[in-house]
Amino acid sequence: MAFNLHRFLRIFVILLFSCFSSIHCGSGNDSSQQPPITPINRDLYRTSAALMEEIEALVNRHQDKLHMETFQSTNKGYKAELNVVTYCQNRTAIEDKSKFRILLSFGQHARELITSELALRILSILSEEQFLPKMDPLLLKKTLEKIVIKVVPLENLNGRKKVEAGDLCERRNGRGVDLNRNWSVDWGKKEKDYDPYEENPGVAPFSEPEAQLMRKLSMSFDPHIWVNVHSGMEALFMPYDHKNTTPSGLQSQKMKLMLETLNHLHCGDRCVVGSGGGSVGYLAHGTTTDYMYDVARVPMSYTFEIYGDEKASSKDCFKMFNPVDHLTFNRVLNEWSAMFFAMFNMGAHQINDPQESTPFNNMDNLISIDDYLNELQRVIDHTCLPFLSQIKCPWSCYLIVMDLWYNQVVKSDTSLEDMTLLEGGGNDREDPQSISKEKPKILLIEQLDNKVDSPFNRSKFKRAYNEFWHHTNLKGANAI
């Protein structure tokens, strides 16, 4: 009996061990079915320290064009550092307020390493150590003479260090706050799909030193263009992020026109274009771009998303947000560098001398809109980027023409108040409402002297302007 009991116990122990072994092996087999986590490709991506060392060396080699400053801020023991590189073809003219000013930020979300690599590529092209294919160097030189660019290569340095330490899905700063939710426009609002880990907005607007430094930089620089560079998809976003609409007015149409042009010429029409809130699939509150547009009054405020792997697992963050092979890595940097320099050119030609950029000023007091558009097209063909000649009149040009009229007549302090709006091609007055999209008629503007019995005042001009937009049925165009 004792022998049988001993045998029974041995068999029981063996079976029990086998059971635990099978459970362990089974769980191991389950985990083997999980997709692998892609590590950082050190052959492609620099560490944050190496990146900043390379940028600093670049600045030192080109001190005639580049200048770097380091700013620091501390909040409750948490310290942040912001490196800012300024480009100006003639460094002594950095403070020249007549130049077109562009502010770019990269690396706001820590896991998006590719964005900071793009910052380095852009700076290398600006310093002429690398070159854009198919870019006329003389044209580029003329463009760069007119602009000042400030580049923040790595906004979220503390968060980036956490990624480099192995937390590949980290997007927040060094103390767990999403820097793109820490700005004041609609701050703190939480949607139904709000993720408290990913989208932590902080304890208050601008609670984070990084956001404080960026706000101070934007206010002192007063840019004409702002771009917040991210990855996760391919998109060209304009405000708003906190609602699914775009701003009203002509400026919004000009912003969208620029994005659509860039998308067509440099993104093969594959980039998503529109408001962040209306295009990305969720609303974001307290974002930098909404602040830049609504509070800082940056006329053209954008968010660019430069890469995304939709097939990557949600846990495989490095692969989801960054190219992992040499071919894709270089393609992304080349395509988006070209995109940015195209934007630089488009921006630079908005600040030409008024006598050069506004054909209306060089003509007689009486001018047809067709002649006006033809002259505008001539200016585009001869003084702007070659690719802008693809934007043919009349409809895209009407945006520019009506904007010029509005700014010269409605907003000006000059004596252009006495104007007459005529239509037809002769002296016969016709109803402005007869303008049709199918066959645009001729609009005439005539400046009259003080003896005119019935001056065309600002309010009448506004009404005609509104009627023009209404009867062209141009989607999204808004009246004054």
Which region among 208-222, 340-354, 414-428 has the lowest average model confidence (pLDDT)? 414-428
Q: Which of 351-355, 375-379, 476-480 comes out lowest in average pLDDT?
A: 476-480
Is the pLDDT assigned to residue 217 strictly greater than 80?
yes
Residue 252's pLDDT band (boundaries 50, 70, 90)?
A: confident
Domain residue spans of the chain:
48-348, 354-472
The torsion defined by the Cα of 122, 123, 128 and 130, in degrees rounded to 10, comes to -50
CB 359 within 8 A of CB 367: no
pLDDT at position 351: 59
pLDDT of residue 10: 57
Q: What per-residue confidence (pLDDT) applies to 253? A: 86
> Are the C-beta atoms of 295 and 145 separated by less than 8 Å?
no
Q: Of these residues, 164, 305, 310, 417, which one is catalytic?
A: 305
pLDDT of residue 33: 64
Percent of the chain with pLDDT over 90: 55
- Angle at the Cα of 252 (from 246 to 257), degrees rounded to 5? 110
Per the annotation, the verdict on 170 as an active-site residue is no
Cβ distance 376 to 363 under 8 Å?
no
CA separation, residue 135 to residues 67, 125, 387 (Å): 25, 11, 11
- 431 HSE (CA, 13 A, CB side): 4
Instruction: Calculate mean pLDDT across residues 35-46.
Output: 94
- Asked which of 106-120, 133-147, 313-327, 383-397 is least confident by mean pLDDT, the reply is 383-397
User: Sorting pLDDT into bands at 50, 70 and 90, what band is 19?
Assistant: very low
Mean pLDDT, to the nearest integer, of 172-188?
Answer: 97
Q: Which of 209, 214, 221, 218 is nearest to 173 (CA)?
A: 209
What pLDDT does residue 475 have?
A: 33
> How far is 186 from 244, CA to CA, in rounded Å?
13
Between the alpha carbon of residue 447 and those of residues 242, 342, 409, 413, the distances in Å are 44, 37, 10, 15
Average pLDDT on 32-45 reads 87
Instruction: State the pLDDT at residue 206.
Output: 95
Q: At what angle do helices 113-126 and 157-164 cross, to 10 degrees?
A: 120
pLDDT at 186: 94
**Residue carrying the six token digits 């940015």:** 340
pLDDT band at residue 4 using 50, 70 and 90 as cut-offs: low
Distances (CA, A) of 352 to 13, 113, 346, 347, 384: 88, 36, 11, 10, 10
pLDDT band at 249 (very low <50, low <70, confident <90, very high): confident
Q: Is the pLDDT of residue 386 over 50?
A: no
Q: What is the mean pLDDT of residues 263-276?
A: 94
End-to-end CA distance of the chain: 103
Does residue 462 have a pLDDT over 60? no
Yes or no: domain 48-348 corresponds to CATH 1.10.390.10: no
* Position 8 pLDDT exceeds 80: no
Residue 480: partners with Cβ closer than 8 Å, 6 or more residues away: 249, 250, 406, 410, 462, 465, 466
- What is the predicted pLDDT for the residue at 6? 54
132 pLDDT exceeds 70? yes
The Cα–Cα gap between 464 and 467 comes to 5
**Mean pLDDT of all residues in 370-374:** 49
Q: Is the pLDDT of residue 347 over 60?
A: yes
Q: Are 321 and 232 in contact (CB under 8 A)?
A: yes
Assess whether pLDDT exceeds 50 at residue 20. no
* pLDDT at residue number 7: 54
Rounded to two decimals, the pTM is 0.70
Question: Taking all residues of the chain, what is their mean pLDDT, rounded to a whole number?
Answer: 76
- pLDDT bin (cut points 50, 70, 90) of residue 93 is confident
